């Protein structure tokens, strides 16, 4: 049996570079040896609380130093981390606790109200991070090292934001996560031990957890935490701490590009990675111009640990694409209509994006039917539509279920969004299909106006008409102050459809 643990990422740094700064949050600075000692002490406390190898421990905390310490404590104790999204309501947290079979919830003081209500309803014990957990750790016998796990044992269960129905727990193994961190650090991006990364993405989410935290530490680099993202504050912090690596979702790139004009000094960024949702090319161009840095857009899902493909320096980068598959991962295009098997399509054809490799999850916790639907012939069906060109660059066209069929023609919202976001009066836009008696569906653009502008709906329709095919341009424009975002900062199109279908 091959053994492997995510805990080794932190353990090896404590062994190889004990005095190197691992973690910065506000005035707190911890070396790798200090974070590892704290995690072993907390792992001792978990064992004292009755946590056994394979038990599931829920973790609910913002991007404060408590999160990485508790995360590594849970895996060091041989248990499985169940990260809880901070925007969930008590009933939603209850679902995660019940569905995962968690035996304990580690909860940050800022989340105790929601966490405790859900824990009470499910009979799960709560320990508050900070004073209470530290007291338990001080009284416990620290573990001498991390508990042995098989490479295929579960390490983390991510609850997917459930764009379809109830959230499901995607089970990722130690092998999945260690490989994804390693390949991200050394093959996809050239991450170096003297790099300093900003941890602004939520660590409870797969992107922040693997790419910001685990990959940064896999390379022995420093992680600077920003508990609440604010563009101005992020720029100040990056300059102050000498941050050269930024990982973000498109909404963060939008606000950083806008805030750059007001900043006295900008950080010198060497590595910038965008993921979580598609990055409009216009936003990428604005950010690159403001910061003088190249943005590498990538793609993944909770089910793929999460990174599957990214623009990589070794292949060259191409705006509007998600680059090439990660080392050891295959990303291909299959016939979307064939639900029974995987039928790969030739170069350039549009189909469903399918993934296979060391990053593909074990399955959905307790849901064999859903797992069998997702994993077919050794490939993961992603539900995304895309193409692969002759140079091997992959492009995501849209979610299979977001495609608008107007008068029998397919309209891909992302393509329309790419055009609209270039209008000077538009800061952000989401394009959705709404029921229409004549055409089946009609194209509707939901627009967040750019600061200081007051765009007119009819004028936007005329502007789009000149730039888009007759079946593609929006016939209806709605305005909002902010688009509804889900747990992973993706725009919730189902909420927009529900809101505007009703009237």
Domain boundaries, the chain: 7-177, 308-401, 403-501
- Biggest CA–CA distance in the chain, Å, is 71
- CATH dotted code for 7-177: 3.40.50.980
Query: What is the Rg, in whole angstroms, of the alpha carbon atoms belonging to the chain?
Result: 23
392-423: per-residue pLDDT in tens? Answer: 999 999 888 888 989 888 888 988 999 999 99
CA distance 373 to 54: 26
204 half-sphere exposure, CB direction, 13 A CA radius:
25
CA distance 251 to 274: 10
Residue 376 has what pLDDT? 97
Report residue 164's pLDDT band, with 50, 70 and 90 as the boundaries.
Answer: low
Residue 439 has what pLDDT? 84
In eight-state DSSP terms, residue 184 is I
Cβ-count burial 467-494 (b if 16+ within 10 Å, e if not): ebeeebbbeebbeeeebeebbbbbbbbe
User: Would the pTM count as exceeding 0.85?
Assistant: yes
CA distance 444 to 475: 6
Report residue 503's pLDDT band, with 50, 70 and 90 as the boundaries.
Answer: low
Q: Is the pLDDT of residue 17 over 70?
A: yes
User: What are residue 44's phi and psi, to 5 degrees?
Assistant: -60, -40
The mean pLDDT value for 287-307 works out to 97
32-74: per-residue pLDDT in tens? Answer: 999 999 999 999 999 999 999 999 999 999 999 999 999 999 9
Least confident of 182-191, 471-480, 484-493: 484-493
Contact yes or no for 49/128 (Cβ under 8 A): no
Which two tokens mark 338? Answer: 């064939």
Instruction: Tell whether the torsion through CA atoms of 110, 205, 293 and 243 is positive or negative.
Output: positive
Residue 161 has what pLDDT? 64
Give me the residues paired with residue 436 across strands: 440
Q: Is the pLDDT of residue 165 over 70?
A: no
The mean pLDDT value for 281-300 works out to 96
61 half-sphere exposure, CB direction, 13 A CA radius:
28
Cis peptide leading into 90, omega within 30 of 0? no
* Assigned fold of 403-501: GMP Synthetase; Chain A, domain 3 (3.30.300)
Residue 470 has what pLDDT? 86
Are β-strands 169-173 and 154-159 bridged in parallel, bridged antiparallel, or unpaired?
Answer: antiparallel
Q: Is the pLDDT of residue 102 over 60?
A: yes
Give me the residues paired with residue 225 across strands: 199
* Assigned fold of 308-401: Luciferase; domain 3 (2.30.38)
CA distance 389 to 132: 55
User: What are residue 296's phi and psi, to 5 degrees?
Assistant: -100, 110
User: What are residue 457's phi and psi, to 5 degrees?
Assistant: -55, -50
């Amino acid at each position: 049996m091959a053994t492997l643990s995510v805990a080794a990422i932190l353990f090896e740094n404590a062994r190889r570079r004990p005095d190197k700064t691992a973690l910065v949050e506000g005035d707190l600075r911890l070396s790798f040896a200090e974070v590892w000692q704290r995690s072993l002490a907390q792992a001792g406390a978990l064992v004292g609380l009755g946590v056994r190898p394979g038990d599931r421990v829920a973790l609910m905390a913002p991007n404060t130093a408590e999160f990485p310490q508790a995360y590594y404590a849970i895996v060091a104790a041989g248990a499985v981390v169940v990260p809880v999204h901070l925007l969930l309501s008590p009933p939603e947290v209850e679902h995660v606790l019940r569905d995962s079979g968690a035996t304990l919830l580690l909860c940050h003081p800022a989340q105790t109200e929601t966490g405790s209500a859900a824990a009470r309803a499910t009979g799960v014990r709560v320990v508050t991070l900070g004073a209470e957990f530290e007291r338990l750790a001080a009284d416990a016998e620290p573990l001498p090292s991390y508990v042995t796990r098989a490479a295929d044992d579960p390490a983390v269960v991510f609850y997917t934001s459930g764009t379809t129905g109830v959230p499901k727990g995607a089970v990722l193994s130690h092998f999945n996560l260690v490989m994804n961190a390693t390949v991200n650090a050394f093959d996809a991006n050239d991450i170096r031990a003297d790099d300093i990364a900003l941890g602004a993405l939520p660590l409870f989410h797969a992107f922040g957890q693997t790419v910001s935290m685990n990959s940064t530490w896999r390379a022995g680099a420093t992680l600077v935490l920003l508990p609440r993202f604010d563009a101005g504050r992020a720029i100040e912090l990056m300059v102050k701490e000498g941050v050269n690596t930024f990982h973000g979702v498109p909404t963060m790139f939008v606000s950083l590009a806008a805030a750059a004009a007001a900043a006295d000094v900008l950080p010198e960024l060497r590595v910038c990675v965008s993921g979580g949702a598609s990055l409009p090319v216009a936003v990428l161009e604005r950010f690159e111009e403001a910061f003088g840095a190249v943005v590498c857009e990538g793609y993944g899902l909770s089910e793929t640990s999460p990174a599957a493909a990214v623009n990589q320096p070794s292949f060259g980068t191409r705006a509007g694409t998600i680059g090439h598959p990660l080392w050891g991962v295959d990303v291909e295009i299959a016939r979307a209509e064939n639900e029974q098997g995987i039928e790969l399509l030739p170069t350039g054809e549009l189909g469903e994006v399918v993934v296979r490799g060391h990053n593909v999850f074990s399955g959905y916790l307790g849901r064999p039917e859903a797992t069998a639907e997702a994993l077919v012939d050794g490939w993961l069906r992603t539900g995304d539509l895309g193409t692969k060109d002759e140079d091997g660059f992959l492009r995501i066209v849209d979610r299979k279920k977001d495609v608008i069929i107007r008068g029998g023609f397919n309209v891909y919202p992302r393509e329309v969004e790419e055009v609209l976001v270039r209008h000077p009066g538009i800061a952000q836009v989401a394009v959705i299909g709404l029921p229409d008696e004549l055409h089946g569906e009609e194209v509707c653009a939901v627009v967040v106006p750019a600061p200081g502008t007051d765009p007119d709906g009819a004028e936007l329709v005329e502007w789009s008409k000149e730039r888009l095919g007759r079946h593609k341009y929006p016939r209806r424009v709605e305005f909002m102050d902010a688009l509804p975002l889900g747990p992973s900062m993706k725009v919730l199109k189902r909420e927009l459809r529900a809101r505007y279908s009703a009237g």
